[in-house]
């Protein structure tokens, strides 16, 4: 049984900074921040989950069954991540590429302390608390000093593959498309650094400040560190309603307002980007139809351009009513991995991705989020993210894009560089 207590917050921005700084003192932390996204689909402005009471971590073998048992046993709030390589639990696939991070494929924990921020209110939701613990923590948060931290030493970021090799891999992907093996597939490449001393918390603060995405996340579980500036929602369940918002289509921003509008309009009319988005929407509709009430799967928005600080993105919104008897974890299992990070047909695309990519994706292009006690959930897509193993001192970030019959290898490479811009900026600019 959890104890709840709410406090009115006048300066939300200042309180958020103090709350996150206080949360960073705990060994286990998940911080999810909508960055004041005004969308009606945002459940809260931010949530902090800290201090594990129970936890589950595992490789991909029977991972979704284990997660289902854990979610149904706790019947409580649980926070954590699903790695891309859980595809091997869903289908008869494998992941044999190089893995510099060596994270578990799935990790969730039941937090003792939760703080939700919404509409100038901080709601503290505690498990097994001692007398006056919420009041004492609230006072400690208010008195938290916000001094600047030194982020890290100089980092030598390297590409796992050369530009020439990347272009060859796009050509190979195009050959698969022209043969009819697939229609579209997401091809990614890794950038990495070794022997890095990194303050992941400070990096998160810097990245979030220059990006302010609607699905930002900071996660630390043991040696696992995630700094995410994700603009993309994977899947949300609220009651019997499912919602997913795949992204396909990216364009740069411009400091010149007129040019910026023209770039956004060009993206909205780009036949290649529209084709990418529509193919993934069809894939997502097919995934959801397997667990939805008949006739309930709908496309609420198709290929709408949204503007973020770093890039313009083409986003579609698909909704459905989950069928009676479908457990929450089954909704994730059926639709995982997300179509925007795989391709169509999905299984063929994942096989070809494994063949052409040089690195195991792991948490990149997986998902971070939570389950509520009622079985609702919300997960982002782990893109525009930095991953760091604090034990081995290995740092990694990956970027990629959808390859279709209309893809130009050079332009695909430039899109990768565009998507990596903010990540490089916070790592290289001391």
Dump the DSSP string for 242-270.
EEEE-EEEEEE--SSHHHHHHHHHHHHH-
Contacts of residue 86, defined as CB under 8 A and 6 or more positions apart, other chains included, come to 60, 63, 64, 105, 106, 336, 337, 366
CA–CA distance, 236 with 212 (Å, rounded to integer): 20
Dump the DSSP string for 351-410.
HHHHHH-SB--TTTTSEEEEE-TTS-EEEE---SEEEEETTTTEEEEEEEEEE-TT--HH
CA–CA distance, 269 with 339 (Å, rounded to integer): 22
CA–CA distance, 416 with 311 (Å, rounded to integer): 12
CA–CA distance, 29 with 49 (Å, rounded to integer): 6
Instruction: Retrieve residue 213's tokens.
Output: 């995405």
Tell me which residues are annotated as active site.
Answer: 232, 248
CA–CA distance, 260 with 254 (Å, rounded to integer): 5
CA–CA distance, 33 with 15 (Å, rounded to integer): 13
**HSE, side-chain direction, 13 A CA sphere, residue 70:** 23
Dump the DSSP string for 1-58.
-EEEEEEE-S-HHHHHHHHHHHHTTSSEEEEEE-TT---TT-S-SEEEEEEEEEEEEE
**HSE, side-chain direction, 13 A CA sphere, residue 142:** 12
CA–CA distance, 335 with 337 (Å, rounded to integer): 6
Dump the DSSP string for 213-224.
-TEEEEEEETTE
The answer to whether the beta carbons of residues 388 and 198 sit under 8 Å apart is yes
Do β-strands 394-403 and 184-193 pair in parallel, antiparallel, or remain unpaired?
antiparallel
């Amino acid at each position: 049984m959890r104890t709840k207590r709410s406090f009115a917050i006048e300066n939300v921005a200042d309180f958020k900074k103090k709350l996150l700084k206080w949360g960073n003192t705990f060994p286990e932390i998940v911080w999810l921040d909508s960055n004041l996204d005004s969308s009606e689909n945002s459940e809260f402005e931010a949530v902090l989950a800290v201090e594990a009471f129970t936890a589950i971590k595992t490789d991909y073998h029977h991972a979704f069954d284990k997660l289902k048992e854990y979610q149904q046993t706790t019947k409580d709030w649980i926070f954590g991540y699903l790695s891309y390589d859980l595809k091997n639990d869903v289908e008869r696939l494998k992941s044999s590429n190089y893995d510099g991070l060596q994270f578990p494929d799935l990790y969730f924990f039941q937090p003792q302390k939760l703080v939700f921020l919404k509409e100038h209110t901080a709601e503290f939701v505690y498990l097994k608390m001692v007398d006056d613990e919420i009041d004492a923590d609230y006072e400690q948060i208010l008195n938290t000093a916000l001094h600047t931290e030194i982020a890290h030493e100089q980092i030598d970021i390297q590409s796992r593959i050369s530009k020439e090799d990347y272009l060859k891999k796009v050509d190979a992907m195009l050959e698969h498309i022209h043969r009819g093996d697939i229609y579209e597939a997401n091809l990614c490449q890794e950038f990495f650094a070794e022997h890095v001393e990194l303050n992941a918390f400070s990096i998160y603060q810097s990245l979030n400040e220059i990006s302010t995405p609607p699905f930002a996340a900071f996660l630390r579980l043991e040696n696992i560190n995630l700094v995410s500036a994700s603009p993309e929602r994977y899947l949300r369940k609220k009651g019997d309603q499912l919602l997913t918002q795949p992204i396909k289509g990216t364009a740069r921003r411009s400091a010149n307002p007129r040019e910026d509008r023209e770039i956004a309009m060009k993206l909205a009319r780009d036949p290649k980007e529209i084709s990418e988005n529509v193919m993934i929407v069809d894939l997502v509709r097919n995934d959801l139809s397997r667990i939805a009430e008949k006739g309930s799967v709908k496309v609420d928005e198709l290929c709408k351009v949204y503007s973020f600080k770093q890039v313009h993105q083409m986003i579609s919104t698909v909704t459905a009513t989950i069928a009676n008897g479908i457990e929450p974890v089954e909704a994730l299992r059926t639709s995982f991995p997300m179509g925007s990070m795989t391709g169509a047909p999905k299984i063929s695309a994942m096989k070809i991705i494994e063949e052409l990519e040089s690195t195991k994706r792991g948490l990149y292009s997986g998902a971070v989020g939570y389950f509520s006690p009622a079985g609702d959930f919300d997960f982002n897509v782990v893109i525009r993210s930095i991953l760091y193993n604090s034990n081995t001192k290995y740092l990694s970030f990956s970027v990629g894009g959808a390859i279709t019959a209309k893809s130009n290898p050079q332009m695909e490479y430039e899109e990768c560089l565009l998507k990596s811009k903010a990540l490089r900026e916070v790592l290289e600019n001391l």
